Amino acid sequence: QVRLVESGGGMVEAGGSLSLSCAASGGRIWRVERMGWFRQAPGKQRELVGRFTHSGDPNYSDSVKGRFTISRDNAKNTVTLQMNNLKPEDTGTYYCTAYIIEDTAFYPARDHWGQGTQVTVSS
């Protein structure tokens, strides 16, 4: 089965930096599109952080523009989120996502999600 495995995260003081990575593997992956990141704070809905569009352009939420950067390695099916100048309001569980097309008609192409990794920013 396809899996998205995240790494990174942790605790940092406001103004600090963290990096998250995510790798897609397993199943019969033929194509990976729209890799990116969402986050969810306690008591709030999951929201977009940054994600590549179908055309490969990065799309960020206004709250992280200029501070966060997503990058990807197409050959390795990985995506990285570099977070700089972190703020307490960036605290939450960060989820990797990707739209994955498998080389089989048995599993339809769909969005997949990682298990989530915690980011905590102290003031």
Say what the pLDDT of residue 105 is: 79
Helices first, then strands: H and E counts in the chain:
0, 11
Long-range contacts of residues 102-110, Cβ cutoff 8 Å, at least 24 apart: 102/2, 102/27, 102/28, 102/29, 102/30, 103/28, 103/29, 103/30, 104/28, 107/2, 107/27, 107/28
Q: Is residue 49's pLDDT more than 90?
A: yes
Q: Give the pLDDT band of residue 104 (cuts 50, 70, 90).
A: confident
pLDDT tens digits, one per residue of 52-80? 999 999 999 999 999 999 999 999 999 99
Structure tokens given for 38: 């969402």
Report the mean per-residue pLDDT for the chain. Answer: 96
Say what the pLDDT of residue 35 is: 97
pLDDT tens digits, one per residue of 106-116? 888 999 999 99
Q: Is residue 22's pLDDT more than 90?
A: yes
Say what the pLDDT of residue 117 is: 97
Say what the pLDDT of residue 107 is: 81
